[in-house]
Structure 1
Amino acid sequence: MRESDLRDAIAEMVRAEVKAIGDELAPVISEVVRAELMPALRAAIREAILRELSTYSGDADFREVSQGSVFSEPEKIKNVTAEAVAPETVPSNENGLYLYCIVDASVSTSLGHMGIDGCEVYTIPHEGVSAVVHSCPLEPYRSDDEETVKRWVKSHQEVVELAAERFGTVMPFGFDTIIMPKEFCTAEEVLKKWISDELDEIRAKMERIQGKKEYGIQIFYDPLVFTKRVEDESDDVRIIKEEMASKPPGIAYMYRQRLEAAVRRRMDELIGAYFKDFYERIQSNADDIKVEKVRKSDGDMVMMMNLSVLASDEKALGQALDGIAAEPGISVQFTGPWQPYSFV
């Protein structure tokens, strides 16, 4: 046999072997592509779309909206800085009103000097409800000192809690909600006009939250416990492990990629099933739920869900959470009760 014929024969054998290996690894490659490439590709496409939307100059207004927090801004009254008020329309000696909450009572009274920085807190009755306020300058409460901000927020909470004790149902507003004077109207006149315009909605919200409190619920899982469960209980993971044991090192590496992808997929399915189960258990003991953005935890546990919950029966809700916390590899953080900031 000539040397050239020998080279051709060897090349043909190599091509056949490569094809055989490719055919054998086709499921592995497909699995890796689905698990690794496609999610990254989808994420890149989403980011590209968001970049385009952010530069869109048409009539639509695209904004990134974060999940609510305990001190979420009210829907109808937004914080307005002093710079946003035209100086020629507002007298220099005019003050704004810092709004703590609306109470379901018509009463004109002082709650004392217990507001932020010791300001006197008082009520302004209108249309059968009352706003709990203090007079403030035409500028937001801002500080680079974290302790100062914490003190302000604590004072805000204390005023809202006292109002709830004194007057019953309260519709709380977020920290640093300031009513500004407008044109030839004082801040009090602006506030009263807003109450008149939104009275039906205010009463509907008060009726919905009456007798209820807000609770924060965070549920965490231990990834080591969940991974072991997947490896012990998943048939496809077991099969891949068995196949990998008989493969040479080069091919075994591809199988390890396939194994990791299978474990991640089963983990996602398991966490999804737990999320659905836990959510339904909580929902059966809640009047309303808001799913918040999950946050990175400090320890080894991973946050599975972060909920703001409106409920009237704290004991029943706590018992449901005790059952959830008893699940292997699961821990629960339960905070509250708070006034229902997230539900107004």
Structure 2
Amino acid sequence: MSDRDGSGDRLETIEGAGTAEPADVPSIDEGRYLYCLVRADADAALETTGVDGEPVSIVAVDGIGAVVHACDGIYDSGDLAQIRRWLVRHQTVVDEAGQAFGTPIPFQFDTILRGDDDGVREWLREERDTLERALSELAGHWEYRVEVVEIDPVSDAALLERDERLRELDERIADADEGTAFLLEQQFEQRVTELRAARRESVTADLQGRLAAAAREVHALERSPSAQLSDDVAGSASDSNDDDETLCRLTLLAHEDDEEAIGSILDDVAANDGLEVRFTGPWPPYTFAPEFGGDGDGTTTDHTNSRP
């Protein structure tokens, strides 16, 4: 995003709500909390309430609308339950905007534009080319999340039956003295780790390739993400048992018309014994939407988990 007339300085993305020290909290006399951008006319409205019950409105210029509410500060709290309620409400507003106006460009939680509605209109005019391009490219597209879980992981004994190298090591361990056996057991465990990693990589590569034929973009995520407050609202929390092993997690951007084709591909994977596929969506394209308010031109595309 360009910084013409200081417009880029008015847009602030506040991350880590609930962790800021009082001295670090930005002072905002008047601002507009941003939920998302949508295709909307000047008279468009969204009948819902936002974070903390604030009335939501749409400020639109030339067919592009910002879903906002008036605010005079960021949303910061040491109460994690309160933060979760804010996150859920933020996500709900974005979801409702998507249902009413089509694919939105979502903002992360606590993104605030300094100024009043006129300031929002000025920002929309200044950044129209960037916003128009983003809305056009994402129109009709949504984010989906896929997790492939091995609910009955292959045992070491089964791997031993399948792999000649493991059998060789097992036989040598049985005949070795204590010191040599210890070293061979380390090699045995390393081989088991390699075989399991190869299986995960094979499943991931095969599924990515098949999904790429139906989706516009497919990206691998960390298999074991750290717990985040956004898990509950963004569908990334799973119901895995301790014995389950996640083989891969993927995020994909796909047109809504291709959801059935994607589901068919995942059904084929789920038909394999011992595998379970967890599929969530459609979500607003948080991972694939441009970020606003950053350094340089302020517009970046982040292919990591950037949901609220």
Runs of 4+ in 1 over 4 A off after TM superposition: 80-87
Q: Judge conservation of contact 1:285–1:320 (CA < 8 Å) in 2.
A: no
User: CA 1:228–1:288 in structure 2 vs 1: closer, same or farther (change >3 Å)?
Assistant: farther
Q: Which residue of 1 aligns with 2:121?
A: 192
Q: Which residue of 1 aligns with 2:243?
A: 300
What is the letter of the counterpart of residue 326 of structure 1? A
1:226 CA displacement: 5.7
5+ residue gaps, structure 2, are 1-9, 15-19, 226-239, 290-308
Q: Which residue of 2 aligns with 1:263?
A: 192
Q: Which residue of 1 aligns with 2:146?
A: 217
More strand by share: 2
Q: How does 1:65-214 map to 2 (within 5 A)?
A: 77-79=11-13, 94-112=29-47, 114-137=49-72, 139-180=73-114, 186-214=115-143
5+ residue gaps, structure 1, are 1-75, 181-185
User: CA 1:163–1:222 in structure 2 vs 1: closer, same or farther (change >3 Å)?
Assistant: closer
Secondary structure at the residue paired with 1:175? Answer: coil
Which whole-Å deviations, capped at 9, do the CAs of 1:307-328 have from their partners, x for residues lacking one?
Answer: 2221222222122122222334
Counterpart of 2:165 (choices 236, 241, 245) is: 236
Q: Which residue of 1 aligns with 2:283?
A: 338
Q: Which residue of 2 aligns with 1:49?
A: none
More helix by share: 1
How many residue pairs get aligned? The number is 258
1:337 CA displacement: 1.5
Distance of 1:195 and 1:83 partners within structure 2:
31
Distance of 2:23 and 2:113 partners within structure 1:
14
Distance of 1:199 and 1:248 partners within structure 2:
74
Q: Judge conservation of contact 1:216–1:307 (CA < 8 Å) in 2.
A: yes
Secondary structure at the residue paired with 2:46? Answer: strand
Secondary structure at the residue paired with 1:337? Answer: strand
Q: Which residue of 1 aligns with 2:267?
A: 322
User: CA 1:187–1:293 in structure 2 vs 1: closer, same or farther (change >3 Å)?
Assistant: farther
User: Which has the greater radius of gyration?
Assistant: 1
Q: Judge conservation of contact 2:203–2:248 (CA < 8 Å) in 1.
A: no
Q: Judge conservation of contact 2:13–2:108 (CA < 8 Å) in 1.
A: no
Q: Judge conservation of contact 1:218–1:333 (CA < 8 Å) in 2.
A: yes
Q: Which residue of 2 aligns with 1:64?
A: none
Which whole-Å deviations, capped at 9, do the CAs of 1:262-318 have from their partners, x for residues lacking one?
Answer: 222222222222221122222222111233333266522232322222122222212
1:220 CA displacement: 2.4
User: CA 1:318–1:194 in structure 2 vs 1: closer, same or farther (change >3 Å)?
Assistant: same
User: CA 1:271–1:294 in structure 2 vs 1: closer, same or farther (change >3 Å)?
Assistant: closer
What is the letter of the counterpart of residue 280 of structure 1? G
> Comparing both chains, which one has the higher relative contact order based on Cα–Cα distances under 8 Å and sequence gaps of 6 or more?
2
Q: Judge conservation of contact 1:226–1:267 (CA < 8 Å) in 2.
A: no
Distance of 2:186 and 2:166 partners within structure 1:
12
1:83 CA displacement: 6.8
Q: Which residue of 2 aligns with 1:245?
A: 174
1:134 CA displacement: 0.8
Identity of paired residues, percent? Answer: 31
